[in-house]
Amino acid sequence: MSDITFTKGSNSVSIEAKSVSEEFKNKLITLTLTTSSSNQSGGAKETKVVDLLRITQQYVIKGYITAEDGLTAKQKVNKLKLIANGSGENGGTTTMTYDGDSITGYIESITITKEADDSVNETSIQVVKYQLAITFVKGVSAIS
């Protein structure tokens, strides 16, 4: 698919994305009105909805990291962990570069699965890659 780069402070790491899902969640407030025994014959009351446009935009990225740019796959995974853990910075957002756009936000979760690439032949060195599932939430810091 394409490379996605995560950057925070002086640390930056690119992953090869296999799929990217963009999700919008709108936190609605629902009010279910009560029905008393004296007005049950009219049926259930319609649910009332309050929409305050409290929308969360997040990306779910599935991909992998392999050795490149003089770094082993393990070193690149460690850089990604460092970015997710704040990159030695006091607060601030992470920048995700995807499809030419720079998106600021926060890494909410990362699942890392180490696997060997079995497609190489017996005489070559087995290639290690890390499968990733990353949830990135677009947003800005609530704390100044």
Q: How far, in Å, CA of 130 to CA of 74, rounded? A: 8
User: What is the distance of C-alpha 113 from the center of its chain?
Assistant: 16
The answer on pLDDT for 8 being more than 70 is yes
The answer on pLDDT for 118 being more than 70 is no
The answer on pLDDT for 124 being more than 80 is no
Residues 3-11 have a mean pLDDT of 94
Share above pLDDT 90 across residues of the chain, in percent, rounded to a whole number: 60
Band (126; pLDDT cuts 50, 70, 90): low
- Over residues 44-78, the pLDDT tens digits come to 788 999 998 889 999 999 999 988 888 888 999 99
Residue among 102, 138, 99 nearest 3 (CA): 99
Domain ranges in the chain? 2-24+57-138
The beta strands (E) that lie in 9-126 are given as 11-31, 48-65, 94-98, 101-117
Confidence at residue 131, expressed as pLDDT on a 0 to 100 scale: 95
Confidence at residue 41, expressed as pLDDT on a 0 to 100 scale: 77
- Over residues 10-35, the pLDDT tens digits come to 999 999 999 999 999 999 999 988 77
- Over residues 74-95, the pLDDT tens digits come to 999 999 999 999 887 777 899 9
Confidence at residue 76, expressed as pLDDT on a 0 to 100 scale: 93
